[in-house]
Amino acid sequence: MPNILLTRIDNRLIHGQVGMTWTNHLGANLVVVANDKAAADEVQQNLMDMAVAETVETRYFTIQETIDKIHYAAEDQLIFLVVKTPQDVLRLVEGQVPIKKVNIGNMHFSEGKKQISSTVSVDDEDIQAFHRLHELGVKLEIRRVPDENSLDILKFI
């Protein structure tokens, strides 16, 4: 069973807050980015690697690669899983990735989305994915940084 400490939705994927603050808070030694585009973009990967301490490893997998490979993780790999959307989390959970808790950090506002917190905006597809994840027993919290109180996203959607 992979040791997934936390799964975070952040449309920026790895940046300073994820690479340092969250990783240190969790005690993670591996950040896995599950994103189809980032898995194919070495320039983006190199930029994201700069936001992570040298003692923390990174892996960049497509959603399907994550489903296929996560169960081969070593026991000493303390995994912080980062994705871009709630739909990505749902695909992972439906693919038998053992995700128990999701931290919703950043989902930027764009046309067709409504803002439900200072850093989270959702559309109907996002809401459907969150409700399905809840049905599957996944705990869902909005929390920007570790020392902030978490909010149950279901109260806002």
Which residues neighbour 24 within 8 Å (Cβ) at sequence distance 6 or greater?
53
Q: Rounded CA gap, 60 and 98, in Å?
A: 18
- Are 36 and 42 contacting, i.e. CB atoms less than 8 angstroms apart? no
State the catalytic residue, choosing from 15, 108, 131, 134. Answer: 15
Which residues neighbour 23 within 8 Å (Cβ) at sequence distance 6 or greater?
31, 52, 53, 56, 80
Let me know if 71 is a catalytic residue. no
- Are 157 and 133 contacting, i.e. CB atoms less than 8 angstroms apart? no
Instruction: Report the catalytic residues.
Output: 15
